[in-house]
Structure 1
Amino acid sequence: MTGCAVGPNYKPPENTVSEHWVTEGDSSEPVQNDWWESFHDPLLSKYIHEARQHNNDVLTAMSNILQARALRQIEASAFYPQLSALVNATKTYFSKNGPVFSLSTPETSGLPYAVQVPQIQNLFNFLFDASWEIDIFGKTRRKVQAAEAVIGRTIAQKDDILISVFAELARTYMELCAVRERKEIIKENISLLESKSCLIRLQYRLGYVNRIDDESVQAAAFAERAKLPPLESEMYHHIYTISVLIGKPPEALLEELLLYKPLPPLPEKVAVGLRSDLLRRRPDIRKAERELAGATAQIGVAIAQFFPTFSLTGDGGLQSLSIGSLFSPKSLTYAFGGGLNAPIFQGWQYLGNLHARRAEEAAKFTAYAGTVLQALQEAESALMAYNKDLKSLSDTQLETKHQKEATYLVGERNIKGLVSALEVFNAKLQLSGVQLSLLDHELKTRIDLISLYKALGGGWQSS
């Protein structure tokens, strides 16, 4: 039995976000949900799958969803009658000086004879008790709506954690690959500098160069060697991070990830979808929207407190002084009735609660609007950064191409005796510096692409 539900009915905020991006994207096709597959790296895809199944933050979020659903079930239980059973047996020894015997005398009872009361009395009960609060003004319905909003919030929170974990794992994986490539380039630099040092020492003994040249080359070689230990430490740190993200001990992936593996290739094009779709894809926006829905439902709960509550109660069963006659028809007992509980004055407690709930709804609406703007800012910035990275990467690739050609020409001239071997070493070392710069741009482009996928809200749908 229900009536009207007091308080405002929730309406989701209107989507006023434009469909068009400020920054041009590769394609307005829907965002790829399993965006990590665009890198065509089976190992990365494997780790993403394991993180979805075993990451501790994700598992905690899943438990929070189960808890929210259980709390919703608790709130919904008020829709139904509450029924309980009472089965007991008591044995009572009455005091001769107590009220039972005092009231049984002619002087106190007003009867011409004394009432015979046994001093020891047994009582057996087999009773049922029922009560039901009728949700006439919708307080229970609004509480259930608020609990359902909490379920939606916890689901969105889980999705947000998934996106963050996937992005962090992919970013760490890219950084690990870049560190391994950087380590190989530096090792090659050290080898070049050692060969150059041998050549300079030979020329020094022949009197063609002075000692300063030899010392400078050796100093450069030691400077390169000094870069290796921090890179080793950084490499292990990334491996440990990936292991923990997929729910394993830090050392679990050492054998697998210490092997050299180049950076995964970039996708040919990146679909960014419509800008207005952010409100549907981004879990943080859905989380803020569910919080607004819950705050709106709590206003209805606060308003319902001003109205009376109606309840039906009843109990019945069997009661007897002897267990042998407990189940006879004469042992039947029951009582039923109804009640109304109307608030009159609580020191403005309910009014203050209503004002607090309305203020909370206003705050949640403002927070929702702020979350939408923040999402737009992150997505536009990430798209702009990625587009500029592609331009910068293209220029650096051309620089590397021309530097390789220049190094080749220096080698050809050396073969013809037009330049010295030192010129060849210098050209190769200069090429190495350009390759390190290219590696930095390659890494930055991939990290900014991962940030773009995260800002677009992709990843949680695949789960």
Structure 2
Amino acid sequence: MLSSTLLGGCATAPSRPPHTTVALPSSATGDETVEGKAPARQWWHLYREPALDALVAEALANNRDLREAEANLLKAQALLGQARALTLPQTDISAGAGYGSTLQDQIAAAGKDGSAIRTGGRFDLGIDLAWEPDLFGRLRSTVRAARADARMSAALEDEVRIVVAAGVTRAWLDACGFARRADVARESLALAERGRELVQRLRAAGSATPAEVLRAETLVAQTRAAIPMLDAGRQDALAELAVLAGRSPTDVPPAAAACRQLPTVTATGPVGDAAALLRRRPDVRAAEQKLTSSTAHIGIAVADLYPRIVIGGGFADSSPTPDGLGERVNQVWRVGPLLSWSFPNSNAARARLRAARADEAGALAAFDGVILAALKDTRQRATDYAAMLRRQDDLRIAAERSLRADRLMQRQRAAGAATALEALEADRASIDAQAAAAEADIEVARAQVALFRALGGGWEDAPAVHLPTPDRSSRADAPFPSSK
């Protein structure tokens, strides 16, 4: 009566995880005019740089973060295999040899009117077989949880692939962009030095003031000061590029080191609708699988409220001599069901069930949060990119007009229609406009990469990650030899 009451009060496990509470918009960016087919999977090919394509492929195969993610995936897959194996019959084979007496020896001695118990060598051989029918779904839920964990690990590895591809592309563009900005700065420095020489000649002729000479020298110093940081930014980008590809920071790809002009794409292409975006993003898939795993753990907790029934059998043979292991008198066998139930401490099992349900509620909240973050990320990156493009166009126009104004001012100065100070200010304006335009080019390139990353592409059709064979040899040149 008590057992039936307890069984009737037990909860049932959910058959599937809950749906998200987020109402998905039809558009991923809020602008219905830009929706449609998503951009190319390997979006970095849009830059039409074969060397960049080859370096991204190298990074996707050799990056160390990806190797760690691959190892985590292999571990999750192994745990899935272990969970599946638990649904099959379990066997246990034992063999032993020792000295002493056994229960059989004691029974034999008792049957002989209390004669001495035999003590001596003893050889044992046994086999046990057990199978759990999984009447209440504990093993099935364990397999579902392990399968979801493996899929989550696969999604997290895909997320690392996106980060690596975007990181390589951005580092490449940064290296090219900093080189271009440094070239513009050197051109601006040459222009400023020519202006200084002109003012110095005018000062010698009595046509310029000492203040105008000082301003010209100030402009030269300010323009020269920008060059070292631009060169350092380029070197930092090249080192980042090498490490992302699994190389030493000094092993810089020659093509990247030689690049001095930013490759561009005319457009990123349409974004795609919100549902398609969420299917592409591995972080959303990982959160979904975590929710699925938490739901499966509820099934495990529910099954713990019920008894476990194991059908098994065993065979044992024990003999004082190896030759007697096959004799029937030395053999023992059994077969039948085994009932195991954690009663009366069912409070602990119900506490685990409450914890599992709370974990599912947290996983659902996290899933909703990842969806909202993905939609926000895409919208913001698309908005930033559009703003950067408009800014780039305006700064290019400003640089072109400023350069034309500077040339006109120089002609006016040569004709005596403008002062040296006016010509110097025109030089300064032209230098600033050229530098701003070059900087805008880098910002647009970075915004492009950020948008591509937000769109979730780049993990498809990626090369396999191969883990190296551990080298455990003792090497004198090893920087960190293992301790013995």
| TM over 0.5, shorter chain | yes
Whether 1:91 and 2:81 are equivalent positions in the alignment is: no
Match of 1:61 among 69, 72, 85: 69
Q: Does 1:7 align with 2:13?
A: yes
Larger Rg: 1
For the 8 Å contact 1:197–1:217, the answer to whether it is kept is yes
Q: Distance in 2 between matches of 1:29 and 1:432?
A: 42
Q: Which amino acid aligns with 2:198?
A: L
2:189 aligned residue: 190
Match of 2:25 among 18, 38, 41: 18
Q: 2 CA distance for matches of 1:27 and 1:349?
A: 52
Question: Offset of 1:318 from its aligned partner?
Answer: 4.0
1:352-367 equivalences under 5 Å are 352-367=351-366
3-state SS of 1:134 partner: coil
Distance change >3 Å, CA 216–CA 310, structure 1 → 2: same
Match of 1:211 in 2: 210
Q: Decide whether the 8 Å contact of 1:29 with 1:273 is kept in 2.
A: yes
1:200 corresponds to: 199
- Identify if the C-alpha distance between structure 1 residues 366 and 160 changes in structure 2 by more than 3 Å, giving closer, same or farther: same
The equivalent of 1:97 in structure 2 is: none
Deviations 1:386-431 (A, max 9, x none): 1222222222223333334434545666777766888666545433
Once residues 453 and 430 of structure 1 are traced to their aligned partners in structure 2, the CA distance between those partners, rounded to angstroms, is: 35
Shift of 1:301: 0.6
Contact 2:131 2:311 in 1 (8 A): yes
Tell me which amino acid in the other structure corresponds to 2:30: V
Taking the TM superposition and a 5 Å limit, the aligned residue runs for 1:409-420 are 409-410=408-409
Deviation of the 1:205 alpha carbon: 1.7
Gaps of 5+ in 2: 1-10, 463-484
Whole-Å separation in 2 of the counterparts to 1:55 and 1:237: 18
> CA separation in 1, counterparts of 2:19 and 2:121?
66
Distance 1:269 1:131 in 2: 60
Per the alignment, residue 236 of structure 1 pairs with 235
Structure 1 residues 461 and 318, CA gap change in structure 2 (3 angstroms):
same
Equivalent-residue separation in structure 1 for 2:224 and 2:371 (angstroms)? 49
In structure 2, the CA distance between the partners of 1:346 and 1:269, relative to structure 1 (3 Å rule), is closer
Give the structure 1 partner of residue 127 of structure 2: 128
Aligned-residue offset at 1:332? 4.3
Q: How does 1:267-416 map to 2 (within 5 A)?
A: 267-328=266-327, 331-346=330-345, 348-410=347-409
Is the 8 Å Cα contact of residues 212 and 421 (structure 2) preserved in structure 1? no
Distance 1:88 1:430 in 2: 93
User: Could you tell me which amino acid in structure 2 is paired with residue 263 of structure 1?
Assistant: L
Question: Partner amino acid for 2:230?
Answer: L
Change (3 A) 1:426 1:132: same
SS state at 1:369 partner = helix
CA distance in 1, matches of 2:445, 2:311: 66
Residues 30-109 of structure 1 aligned to structure 2 (within 5 Å) = 30-92=38-100, 104=109
Is the CA contact 2:51–2:255 (under 8 Å) kept in the aligned structure 1?
no
Cα distance in 1 between the residues matched to 2:259 and 2:93? 70
CA-CA distance at 1:299 after TM superposition = 0.6
Query: Deviation at 1:333?
Result: 3.5
Alpha-carbon contact 1:295-1:360 (below 8 Å) kept:
yes
Would the aligned equivalents of 2:13 and 2:299 in 1 still touch at CA under 8 Å?
A: yes
Tell me the equivalent position of 2:446: 447
Distance 1:409 1:175, change over 3 A: same
Larger mean CA deviation between 82-91 and 62-71 belongs to 82-91
1:39 is matched by which residue type in structure 2? Y
- Per-residue CA deviations over 1:296-327 (Å, capped at 9, x if unaligned) read 11111111111111112322154333223433
Partner of 2:7: none
Q: Report the alpha carbon displacement of residue 17 of structure 1 after superposing the two structures with TM.
A: 1.6
CA contact (8 A) 2:36 2:273 kept: yes
Deviation at 1:127, TM superposition (A): 2.1
**Structure 2 residue matching 1:253: 3-state secondary structure:** coil
Is contact 1:123-1:319 (8 Å) kept?
yes
State, as a whole percentage, how many aligned pairs show the same letter.
25
TM-score normalised over the length of structure 2: 0.84
Return closer, same or farther for 1:434/1:462 CA change in 2, 3 Å cut-off: farther
Residues 269/313 of structure 1: CA separation in 2 closer, same or farther (3 Å cut): closer
Q: TM-score, normalised by structure 1?
A: 0.88
Q: 1:168-219: CA deviations, max 9, x gaps?
A: 2222222222211111111112212222222222222221112222222122
CA-to-aligned-CA distance 1:255-303 (integer Å, 9 cap, x gap): 5544342111123452211122122011111111111101111111111
What is the CA deviation profile of residues 311-348 of structure 1, one whole-angstrom value per residue up to 9, with x for unaligned ones?
A: 12322154333223433566544222321122322161
RMSD of aligned C-alpha atoms? 2.9
Relative to structure 1, the CA distance from residue 415 to residue 430 in structure 2 (aligned partners, 3 Å threshold; closer, same or farther) is same
Q: Following the alignment from structure 2 to structure 1, what is the Cα–Cα distance between the partners of residues 257 and 196?
A: 31
| Cα 1:354–1:11 shift into 2, 3 Å | closer
Once the two structures are superposed, residues 85-118 of structure 1 have per-residue CA deviations (whole angstroms, 9 ceiling, x without a partner) of 2222223389xxxxx89995xxxx597x563654
CA distance in 2, matches of 1:46, 1:267: 22
Mapped pair 1:177 → 2:176:
yes
For the 8 Å contact 1:25–1:272, the answer to whether it is kept is no
Distance 1:101 1:243 in 2: 75
Match of 2:115 in 1: 115
Cα 1:326–1:11, aligned 2, differ >3 Å: closer, same or farther?
A: closer
